[in-house]
Amino acid sequence: MIDLTTETLDLKEARLRAIFRELGSVLVAFSGGVDSALVLHVASQELGERAVGITARSESLAEREYAGAVGFAAAIDARHEVIETRELHDPSYAANPVDRCYFCKSELYEKLAAIARERGIPHIVDGYNRDDEGDWRPGRKAAREHDVRSPLYDAGLRKADVRALAQRLGLAVWDKPALACLSSRFPYGTPITLELLRQVDRAEQTIHDAGFRACRVRHHGEIARIEVPPADVAALADPAIRDGIVAGVRAAGYRYVTLDLGGYVSGGYNPSR
């Protein structure tokens, strides 16, 4: 058995490129995060016009993330298209159960599968990597049901490998903070509406505008619980910055604005936490 932890980045990159050449033609589920960005870039390098990135524009995708995805694809000169998804119209998704992501990914992959069949593209690929398998990801069931391939995983890349390779290849998103849809800001069981998604988006934009790259606004009714990396907690609490953020988050629709001293935790509402 190959020990992937001792392999060099060169070997993993070579395997990744060989996987794409073997696949021959792919649709890339491109969210704009560093993982799928690396997949789209390398697929485009190896396959040219036979690699097509597809971004799903939905109510749960922050506008800044959509703009970033479009800009990245243009910057690397990749084939890129945008489709509309309406997972919020599915009551099973809007009820926000613990497997909410399954319903979102099911709609996405059904639409991608239809596009792939229409164009004769044999494979759909995503940005799943080796470190993701230890996380709570109900969307993986949908990926298996639609035969989605995961080249980063198959090539043995972990998250650190993804960032290192993206940096080496000159991708501007190599150090981009982890991406998650806006629906992840709500405790499981809290119904999700378009109005609430926009409220969270406006609140988070206030924090981004203040210079914080990574943040989450966790929704608790009238309370906004702000998470930033522990190293940024003191900076956000500085009155010179804090007061503007409080005003902006309240303007977004929250009555109370709190700062979580524990800092940002990826997947903070997941059952395993």
- Going along the chain from its start, the domains and CATH numbers come out as 9-168 (3.40.50.620), 182-259 (3.30.70)
pLDDT of residue 272: 47
- What are the phi and psi torsion angles at 143 (to 5°)? -65, -45
**Of 109-113, 131-135, 219-223, the least confident:** 131-135
Contact in structure between 171 and 145 (CB atoms under 8 Å): no
Q: State the Cα torsion 114-116-117-123 to the nearest 10°.
A: -120
Contacts of 243 by beta carbon, 8 Å cutoff, 6+ apart: none
pLDDT of residue 1: 42
Q: Is 181 a catalytic residue?
A: yes
Contact in structure between 162 and 35 (CB atoms under 8 Å): yes
pLDDT digits (tens, 9 = 90+) for 152-202: 999 999 999 999 999 999 999 999 998 889 999 999 999 999 999 999 999
Catalytic residue (one of 101, 104, 181, 215): 181
Question: What pLDDT band is residue 87 in, cutting at 50, 70 and 90?
Answer: very high
- Going by C-alpha positions, the residue among 231, 159, 171 that lies closest to residue 12 is 159
Give the global pTM.
0.92
pLDDT of residue 135: 72
- Going by C-alpha positions, the residue among 54, 42, 56, 38 that lies closest to residue 121 is 54
136 has pLDDT over 60: yes
